[in-house]
A and B are shown apart, each in its own frame.
Chain A
Amino acid sequence: MSDVLTAPYVLEYTYKRSTGPIIGRFFSALRDRRIEGVRCKSGRVLVPPQECDPETGESLSEFVSVGPAGVVTTWAWEADPRPKHPLQTPFAWALIKLDGADTALLSVVDVPTESTMKSGLRVRPRWRAERIGEMRDIECFEVAT
């Protein structure tokens, strides 16, 4: 209805969250262009690391360097990125199992076309130039050559 006025309205919560010791170390490593996982009692390596063993509930603290390259286990194509998406050109959301890891990390893959994407595709991280110790220090993954 043209006689009804509209107005923009922004609701924003500017939270800062504490990382805890395990994700804190994971983020600190990202700042140094390294990716670390944590080893469970069963020997499996979790990436991103968790504070507790998902099977036994025990505290975990044995860090293991993984990657930085890995393989895409599964993916979804984003044809029309929105303003807050990590990339502004079409890209793939992907679960990526890094070398030495037993779980997959959620990230994005920058490839020119959807047809490039496939499970098993080998990718490596593209690091952000200015890293501050957060997930977006990995700008995206790209095809490993």
Chain B
Amino acid sequence: MSDAVKLFKAPIRLEYTIPAGRATSRFCRGLASGRLYGQRCPECKKVNVPPRGACPTCGVPTEEEVLLPDSGTITTFCIINIAFAAQALELPYACASILLDGADSTLFHLIQEVPVAEIRMGMRVRAVWAENKLASLEAIRHFKPTGEPDALASIEGHF
């Protein structure tokens, strides 16, 4: 007889269909065509990206769309050194909050094509777009350093 049972599987699985909302849908469609759109708050004038249809600071609806460049500055970052179940990239790799030029909120994405030890706050980066762009943040494969001088001053107040 085999060993006595000590464990059993008790998975919990919830399958959702998530509607993105109008603002995020427009943002995602923009990504599919290689463009980054933010929204400007009518009160504080800050540009939020990804846009959520309302200003996170003022709480008012945001309508005005702003086309942003695909370059920006790293405000903060995280190096992933530990393997996990759904890991798709080779370790170590880095994710960063990126303040796109002209935006007032940060976008979270991968930083590649640079040794992780060289990644720093203030580093200038640019998007590397996928060939087949989906209507999601996966339309951008990752961001990579531009080689421009660091721009620490431009991210003051964002970390």
Contact = CB atoms under 8 A, between A and B. Distances in A.
Interface of A: 1, 3-19, 24-25, 27-28, 31-32, 133-135
B115 interface: no
Contact of B8 (A3, A9, A134): A134
Interface string B1-43: 1101111111111111111111011001100000000000000
Contact of B15 (A6, A8, A28, A31): A8
Contact of A16 (B9, B16, B18, B22): B9
Of the candidates B2, B4, B14, B85, the one having the most CB atoms from chain A within 10 angstroms of its own CB is B4
B10 A12 contact: no
Contact of B11 (A15, A18, A134): A15
Interface of B: 1-2, 4-22, 24-25, 28-29, 85, 135-136
Contact of A5 (B5, B12, B13, B28): B28
Contact of A4 (B2, B13, B20): B20
Contacts of B85: 14
Contacts of A5: 19-20, 24-25, 28-29, 135
B9 A15 contact: yes
